[in-house]
Structure 1
Amino acid sequence: MKLRLFPQERAGLRILSAMAQEIVLGVHTLYELLGAPASEFGPLAEQMRQHEAASGNLLVSLLTHMRTSFINPLPREDLFALARFLNEAIEKLAGAAELITLNKLERIPARASDQLEVIARQAELTVEAMGRMDNLEELEDYWIQVLRLAKRAEHTHRVFVSELLRDHKPVAYVRYRDVADQLVNVTRDMRQIATQVGSIIVKES
């Protein structure tokens, strides 16, 4: 099987791994935000914006690297797709933090923590996987695990929305629902990354 690409050129993979790590760090910041009083939201929201900015800077670095490097570890279109999904994931995570801060949403329902747990696991798996994209034989299990986590996230989202509808008045429901939607969309971006990896595995087989 043609599964080993260009191990001598790993800069692009290191950048992808660093972008995934910003998602891990962003999850930790959002965990803190969920447990904080509204008076502490500002600094934590700013910390999340810094994670988002760091991811954006890494995306620019990757684009520069792809333009200037003769040999890339993956086809340019695959590198770009992975980086785009990673950056969109951290943007949505930052969006959840911004919604919580703007609407001063204290006492977020526990289902949000359940979703963050899924995102954290997806991101941790992705950090490791991005660094191993030059040895695709090891990545099929990553693909399967992230897809399973994504299915769990979709179920949790449906339960989350149902509980919000049952337990909250319309205005509160809309505010919490916006956060719930942001979080499930992060898990969908992580699923897109895993799907892209699966596509690369198939193409390089």
Structure 2
Amino acid sequence: MKLRLFPQETAALELLADIAQQSVLAGQILSEMFGARRQDHERIFEELMKIDARTSELQRSLLTQLRTSFINPLPREDLLELSEGLGKSMDQLVAVGEIIVVNRLERMAREASDQLEIVNRQSELTVAAMRGLGRLDELEDYWAEMLRLAKRADHTHRVWSAKAMRELSLGAYARVVEMARALQGAAQALRGVAASVGRIIVKES
């Protein structure tokens, strides 16, 4: 199955790729925050909020594009579903930054960095996948790799939670679990985007 697009039909795919790119940028900002001094966290978090605002702007542009364009590369509802999944990922990444700031966290667990690394890889793959939606027959490997990464994220989450329960006080455990859930939420949201791509592949075959 080959889906060929005219240049004017790719605007929605470019917008989706731009939305996915914001998650890449958010991951970079969080990586910086993880290694920064506590007094720098609020400043870095402001950069994260700018990326979040840009994501919302791009989502609105996509909605306008889908509403006003006569021809779209895929059904409007499928493209909107992908945008919503990317937005959920961004929401979770913003939550990670906010948790760091409001709890005045100074040191991040190694597992937090491991989870963020997984999310960053998922985000990078998703940017390429959004641009490749015009070649659906080439995206099965993306779907499979995202599933593998999501399973790795699940494993890291379980190990991290169990370790925190054994080693931390109740208050510290609550803060760790809150961050772990947000990072896991970002990974699951991106897995959801890949699942949507899988459904599109099957439907358009």
Same fold (TM over 0.5): yes
Q: Which amino acid aligns with 2:102?
A: L
Deviations 1:137-159 (A, max 9, x none): 11000000001000000000000
Q: Which amino acid aligns with 2:37?
A: P
Show the counterpart of 2:69: 69
Is it true that 1:6 corresponds to 2:5 in the alignment? yes
Show the counterpart of 1:154: 154
For residues 50 and 73 of structure 1, the distance between their equivalents in structure 2, rounded to whole angstroms, comes to 30
Shift of 1:32: 0.9
Q: Which amino acid aligns with 1:65?
A: Q
Q: Which amino acid aligns with 1:134?
A: G
Q: Secondary structure at the match of 2:74?
A: coil
**Cα separation, partners in 2 of 1:85 and 1:60, compared to 1, 3 Å:** same
RMSD: 0.9
Q: Secondary structure at the match of 1:187?
A: helix
Work out whether residues 7 and 134 of structure 1, in 8 Å CA contact, stay in contact via their aligned partners in 2: no
Q: Secondary structure at the match of 1:6?
A: coil
Shift of 1:36: 1.1
For residues 158 and 141 of structure 1, the distance between their equivalents in structure 2, rounded to whole angstroms, comes to 26
Q: TM-score, normalised by structure 2?
A: 0.97
Aligned pairs (5 A) from 1:17-36 = 17-36=17-36
For residues 7 and 75 of structure 1, the distance between their equivalents in structure 2, rounded to whole angstroms, comes to 16
Q: Which amino acid aligns with 2:109?
A: P
Q: Which amino acid aligns with 1:81?
A: E
Divergent runs of 4+, >2 A: 5-8
Work out whether residues 5 and 74 of structure 1, in 8 Å CA contact, stay in contact via their aligned partners in 2: no
Shift of 1:204: 0.7
Q: Secondary structure at the match of 2:50?
A: helix
Shift of 1:88: 1.0
Q: Which amino acid aligns with 2:5?
A: F
Show the counterpart of 2:194: 194
Show the counterpart of 2:40: 40
Shift of 1:5: 4.9
* Number of corresponding residues: 204
Aligned pairs (5 A) from 1:126-137 = 126-137=126-137
Shift of 1:7: 3.7
Deviations 1:108-154 (A, max 9, x none): 11100000110011000000010010011110000000010000000
Shift of 1:106: 1.1
Q: Percent identity?
A: 45
Q: Which amino acid aligns with 1:155?
A: H
Q: Secondary structure at the match of 1:71?
A: coil
Show the counterpart of 1:125: 125
Q: TM-score, normalised by structure 1?
A: 0.97
Unaligned runs of 5+ in 1: none
Q: Secondary structure at the match of 1:124?
A: helix
Show the counterpart of 1:85: 85
